[in-house]
Amino acid sequence: MRMKKQSTCGLLITLEGIEGSGKSTQVRFLAEMLTHAGYRVLQTREPGGTTTAEAIRHILLTAVSSEPVTPQTEALLILAARCQHVTHVIVPALRRGTVVLCDRFSDSTFAYQGFARGLDLEWLRAANEVATGGLKPDLTLILDLPVSVGLARRRADRGQQNRLDHETERFHRKVRRGFLALAAKEPDRMRIVNANRPAQELQDELSKIVVGWIARPRRRS
């Protein structure tokens, strides 16, 4: 595959989806594909990406105590981790002309803490604006599949389970509906991709979308 190398203006591509949708696997695939094509690529994830943000991730995803984590606390911790991540990793990489591939970003906050937890979306958007300095993804790929399939995948791998995997199926259905609702409002940035199919078919579609997007004129200032 031949592609023109990027300019000094980087791109932020995020992968989103419910638990078990295969985001991490597809981030690695896209990173290999773009690196082979001559692009400077950074793989990262949320919550996480820096030492401080990874420590926050541990608190968020591990039952560190019997003390319940409120939805507001959960959201604020995620936003604190994102601020560190954006400031110290993502923005510097974009300034170097890097294609940043991020496993989850702001849309996960809106889907999980907004649609599923019930926090006010406008409040979340305003707080996220502060945490990111207004940074938005150039392209967001939503890996969509039935909740029952995603949870079965996660629960089959006991070593990878986290606190969110033990939420009710109803909670995860709300998350999925949240992602689909967000995509319906921003169809130019957000693409829904069927993740419930053979890996090669999924990777072929992701490659096509990403290559086409990178070929577009740069818009980030």
Q: What is the pLDDT of residue 67?
A: 85
User: Which of 63-77, 101-115, 140-154 has maximum average pLDDT?
Assistant: 101-115
- CB under 8 Å, gap of 24 or more: what pairs does 199-202 form? 199/25, 202/22, 202/26, 202/143
Average pLDDT over residues 54-83: 91
Residue 103 φ/ψ, nearest 5 degrees? -80, 95
Return the higher-pLDDT residue of 214 and 81: 81
How many angstroms separate the Cα of 132 from the Cα of each of 40, 83, 182?
22, 6, 18
pLDDT in tens, 191-201: 999 999 999 99
Indicate yes or no: pTM above 0.95.
no
pLDDT at 177 over 60: yes
For residue 154, what pLDDT is reported?
81
Domain boundaries, the chain: 11-214
CA distance 55 to 51: 6
Q: What is the mean pLDDT of residues 53-61?
A: 93
**Angstrom distances, CA of residue 30 to CA of 13, 85, 102, 207, 209:** 10, 21, 11, 7, 11
Note the pLDDT of residue 7: 44
33-37 own/partner pairs: CB under 8 Å, 24+ apart: 33/1, 33/207, 33/210, 34/99, 34/101, 34/210, 34/214, 36/1, 37/1, 37/2, 37/3
105 burial level (CB within 10 Å; 0-12, 13-18, 19+): buried
Q: How confident is the model at residue 159 (pLDDT cuts 50, 70, 90)?
A: low
Across 77-210, the runs of DSSP E, i.e. the strands, are 99-103, 139-144, 190-194
pLDDT at 3: 38
Tokens of 50: 């820096």
3-class state of residue 190 by DSSP: strand
Q: What is the pLDDT of residue 2?
A: 38
- What does DSSP assign to residue 114? I
Question: In the CATH scheme, what architecture does the domain 11-214 have?
Answer: 3-Layer(aba) Sandwich (3.40)
Average pLDDT, the chain: 91
Give 218's pLDDT tier (boundaries 50, 70, 90).
Answer: low
Residue 21 and residue 179 in contact, taking contact as beta carbons nearer than 8 Å: no
DSSP output for 2-42: --PPP-SS-EEEEEEESTTS-HHHHHHHHHHHHHHTT--EE
pLDDT at 1: 38
Task: State both tokens at 11.
Answer: 């791109």
Tell me if 47 sits within 8 A of 56, measured CB to CB: yes
Q: What is the gyration radius of the CA atoms in the chain, in angstroms?
A: 17
Q: Are 162 and 45 in contact (CB under 8 A)?
A: no
